[in-house]
Structure 1
């Protein structure tokens, strides 16, 4: 495939498109966990300025930013069951519990029918809708254990990493420990999917909050547009809660890949020109970072190209 990129642009999205092209044209072709196959590079970086309401919202295809926002707000509740997402029409996590249900029961139920049962039946959802201790559980309730007699341990009070970061940003902004970590080694085998966007770190300089996200694994075509939005949004929310202005958002990827069955998406997207400079307004400041609602966020000047559908690798 020859390069389809247009002339270089200073639009913030150009670096995303250049990463996509570099992976597709020069990435190492590999067999992956899903069996689909990828082209992959190791180690990538993107940088975005969040001043004046700017956000890294991809415009060369429509990104459903409200869906990504609802997922982030769900993470902040610490919930790990898909039912609250299903009831909001958010489909991001449906495939994993569906696959587990089919494997364990042998019932070849269609995905849409499974999701409808999750919505209609709380008991069914409690049994089959849980994802294990994924992102939100680690973010706001990282487990601790206290020693008791006989060399045994009992579960202690969970650690709310997000709340601790807000407090540390307010009281000790110069700290190098403003970190939210999702990679709990002891609980990985209980998770539907080990965390891909695993480590967040924040940095205060000159009254501005900078943020960094490290992803161990990144699906550039489908996942990364959501990851960029969600991480930048979390940074904006933290900045508001800490009384800081948003600064730079840095994204870093480990295994950064494109799935081979996404070729149609990649080819189409690389022919498109970025358009516009969307802005995010946060309409109120709630009492805590855990009290935001979807109605608190408004995006202006977002007129993207159309969506491009592609299958999710489970």
Structure 2
């Protein structure tokens, strides 16, 4: 059987070989293809955690736990040593104040000064707000995650088991509109949970490896809360791209051979979807190639 990671390596090759090169929102420029798919079987504990470079899986899981908390401020992330969302509020702070503050100093102040964090660490109504506190026209809040788990338990044959974050009315207030924007779920007659993620914009080098780990962690948590066993993850993407300053390192990664597929498990059962902590996740058999560094385009 072909190693599942070749789906990623093949997509790198496709973008490098046939991608349309153009200027993008960030000004960095991308090479892009439109429409891609990958699928991974989680039933034996395997997860799409790349081995052709080191992926810091705890960072990806911590980010997913933050989404589930409903949070929209980077302070809790920074306290967990997760810095992947700093670039956007930092850019806003520099632009609005004219102060060319170093990232480390900005992050330290966000962590130590609650008032500063409230003013400058806020990302707007991003993922967590939409997942857990979508406000309808009548003012009522909708917890899409809680509703999903309830439906999985009571009506697992439903074709309406999904949640999404593309709230048109609030897009303008978001530091970054949602990339992985729709998740849908499906239960087989023998109790396996399958999930599908649609990602409108996929930063193939930096974002997608994190997105796959986060989606896997979410899948395990939801399956456990609904009393189901993990099945497949299916990933669809719209604009799949490599930034032009990532092309050389993408070629470097393509030259590496995938290693044994690692496994992820939950060490214990949490009382609810709100009670998971990073300590509940264990990854076994992860022996990746060296990390590959690349700049984030903001």
The TM-score, its normalising length taken from structure 1, stands at 0.93
Quick check: 1:216 aligned with 2:203? no
Q: Output the CA distance in 2 between the equivalents of 1:140 and 1:305.
A: 37
* Counterpart residue number, 2:17: 25
Q: Of the candidates 61, 65, 70, which is equivalent to residue 69 of structure 1? A: 61
* Counterpart residue number, 2:82: 90
Q: Output the CA distance in 2 between the equivalents of 1:203 and 1:303.
A: 32
* Counterpart residue number, 1:106: 98
Query: Gapped runs of 5+ residues in structure 1?
Result: 1-8, 147-155
Quick check: 1:173 aligned with 2:165? no
Which deviations, in whole Å up to 9, do the C-alpha atoms of 1:243-294 show, x marking residues without a partner? 1111110000000100000123101101100001201110111111111011
Q: Output the CA distance in 1 between the equivalents of 2:61 and 2:4.
A: 21
Q: What is the SS of the residue equivalent to 1:188?
A: helix
Q: Of the candidates 76, 79, 82, which is equivalent to residue 71 of structure 2? A: 79
* Counterpart residue number, 1:5: none
Deviation at 1:34, TM superposition (A): 0.3
Which deviations, in whole Å up to 9, do the C-alpha atoms of 1:185-213 show, x marking residues without a partner? 00000000000000000001131000000
Deviation at 1:112, TM superposition (A): 1.4
Deviation at 1:125, TM superposition (A): 0.5
Q: How many residues align?
A: 297
Deviation at 1:235, TM superposition (A): 1.1
Which deviations, in whole Å up to 9, do the C-alpha atoms of 1:132-186 show, x marking residues without a partner? 000000000001232xxxxxxxxx2310000000000000000001111010000
Runs of 4+ that moved beyond 6 A: none
The TM-score, its normalising length taken from structure 2, stands at 0.98
Moved more, 194-203 or 230-239: 230-239
Which deviations, in whole Å up to 9, do the C-alpha atoms of 1:50-106 show, x marking residues without a partner? 111110111100000000011100111101000001111101100000000011111
* Alignment map for 1:20-169 (pairs within 5 Å): 20-146=12-138, 156-169=139-152
Q: Output the CA distance in 1 between the equivalents of 2:247 and 2:204.
A: 12
Superposed CA RMSD: 0.8
Q: Of the candidates 11, 16, 29, which is equivalent to residue 8 of structure 2? A: 16
Deviation at 1:107, TM superposition (A): 0.9
Q: Output the CA distance in 2 between the equivalents of 1:311 and 1:287.
A: 39
Query: Gapped runs of 5+ residues in structure 2?
Result: none
